[in-house]
Amino acid sequence: MSTFSAPKGTYDLIPPDSADFLAVREAISAPLRRAGYGYVETPGFEQVELFARGVGASTDIVTKEMYTLTTKGGDELALRPEGTASVLRAALQANLHRGALPVKLWYSGSYYRYERPQAGRYRHFSQVGAEALGAEDPALDAELIILAVDAHRSLGLRNVRLLLNSLGDAACRPAYRAALQDFLRGLDLDEATRERIEINPLRVLDDKREAVQRQLTGAPLMRDHLCEGCAAYHEQVRTLLTAAGVAFEDDARLVRGLDYYTRTTFEFVHDGLGAQSAVGGGGRYDGLSEMIGGPALPSVGWALGVDRTVLALRAEGVTLPTPSPTDVYAVPVGEEARGVLFGVLTELRRAGVAADFAYGGRGLKNAMKSAGRSGARYALVLGERDLAEGVVQLKDLHSGEQAPVALSSAVAEIRAKLS
């Protein structure tokens, strides 16, 4: 056993569990790729100010949860706590917004927040996200939501609920902000929460503490303050989702945990996960580009938690199909056979066949046991007599049938059988 262990609140992904995480990433990204989203990858750390401006200086993410560091050169950096600000920064830096719009991007990676570790909440977590930059169109909002729903369905998830809301825009939110502040100032709240009322009162609505939530009964709702344009926009999103067969629940208190959201806001939740019920979410962020020094670039996006999705699958008892990592297991008997069979193994791999080898000079009996445990469909056994005859023994590990095949045609015959 090692002297070291993974840091608190983190985890190692190792087989066989890692296969589920890979399958989830593939399932989430597949609909995006079909819809024209290109892959983007950003650094694991960025300037602190990028997240302070974009995510919001009043959010828990910035005030309490970011991992920050100072470089030897004096730069203030932060491990990325979320993906949107980084992706938008990368797109602006590469001038992608000067081409055809919208710019459609997807990404996958690890993110870091200093949180209290619990089931479904880690200090290091994995997400797949998607962003559509540069277009204000309810069809784009609906598209992204539908792609996420399709990903969940492809995995076999049936109990994910979609919560939907609108947070208005610069035309109607100021009046709502003032009304909400007036309401919140009359509540019995701690000093830190009172400070938050003045910076961004929506953050108080997102406070999960029961003592706060009890007092929010009767709080003004954004839906009652939407301007005509925002109300019409939101109704178009709802209509498109309904036409696509996507069920949703209107949640007038849904604000999410980031300051940059405008208009469409949504969250995917799974009741089988307990307190940490969100498996992902997102929304429109029409002003974020200006917040980080870019031009006006209305955009929308989401991030889905790979960790949370795996937990949701387990809560529903869904077992993902995991193809065997090995189709053929090669077993040599004798040193000369070992060299020849290793050459066949290399040819198989280059021909696209998943193949493994009995390493370590084990005897035939132990090697065949390993072949059985590998999950391989076939074993290739080569001994001195086989070499002399120019054949190799091909054994079907499911049926037990075994027959010699010519060494010169072994790769072609195995490919034909596997196909």
Binding residues: 82-84, 113, 127, 131, 256, 260-261
* 282 CB neighbour count, 10 Å cutoff: 26
Q: Does 296 lie in the same domain as 154? A: yes
Task: Report the C-alpha gap between 89 and 51 in whole angstroms.
Answer: 11
User: What is the token pair recorded at 216?
Assistant: 């929010």
Same domain, 250 and 370: no
Q: Would you call 127 helix, strand, or coil by DSSP?
A: strand
Q: Which of 254, 282, 315 is the last residue of a domain?
A: 315
What would the pLDDT profile of 59-85 be if each residue is shown by its tens digit?
666 767 889 999 999 999 999 999 999
Mark which of 268, 283, 315 sits at the end of a domain: 315
Give the pLDDT confidence score for residue 1 in this predicted structure: 64
What are the phi and psi torsion angles at 85 (to 5°)? Answer: -60, -40
Together in a domain, 123 and 264: yes
The beta-strand segments (E) located in 142-217 are: 160-166
Over residues 12-39, the mean pLDDT reads 95
- Are residue 360 and residue 262 in the same domain, yes or no? no
Asked if 250 and 267 count as a contact pair (C-beta separation under 8 A), the reply is: no
Give yes or no for a contact between 221 and 167, defined as CB atoms under 8 angstroms apart: no
- Between 59 and 288, the higher pLDDT residue: 288
Contact assessment for residue 67 and residue 79, using Cβ atoms and an 8 Å cutoff: yes
Q: Which of 40-49, 278-287, 344-353, 356-365 has the lowest mean pLDDT?
A: 356-365
> Tokens 């300037």 map to which residue?
47
In a domain, 285, yes or no: yes
249 in a structural domain: yes
Domain holding 382: CATH number? 3.40.50.800
Q: Mean of the pLDDT values across residues 341-352? A: 95
Cβ-count burial 320-331 (b if 16+ within 10 Å, e if not): eeeeeebbbbbb
pLDDT of 261 reads 82
Distance between CA atoms of 100 and 241, rounded to whole angstroms? Answer: 26
In a domain, 363, yes or no: yes
Q: In terms of domains, do 47 and 114 share one?
A: yes
Residues 333, 287: one domain?
no
Share of the chain above pLDDT 70, in %: 97
Binding-site residues for L-histidine, in ranges, read 82-84, 113, 127, 131, 256, 260-261
Q: Examine the domain organization and report whether 266 and 348 are in the same domain.
A: no
Per-residue confidence at 329, pLDDT binned at 50, 70, 90?
A: very high
Pair (257, 160) in one structural domain: yes
Same domain flag for 161 and 277: yes
The token pair at 42 is 């950003």
Q: What is the pLDDT of residue 60?
A: 66
Tell whether 28 is covered by a domain.
yes
> Do 231 and 370 belong to one domain?
no
Q: How far is CA 320 from the centre of its chain?
A: 16
Query: Which residues constitute the domain of residue 371?
Result: 328-418
d(CA 408, CA 11): 47
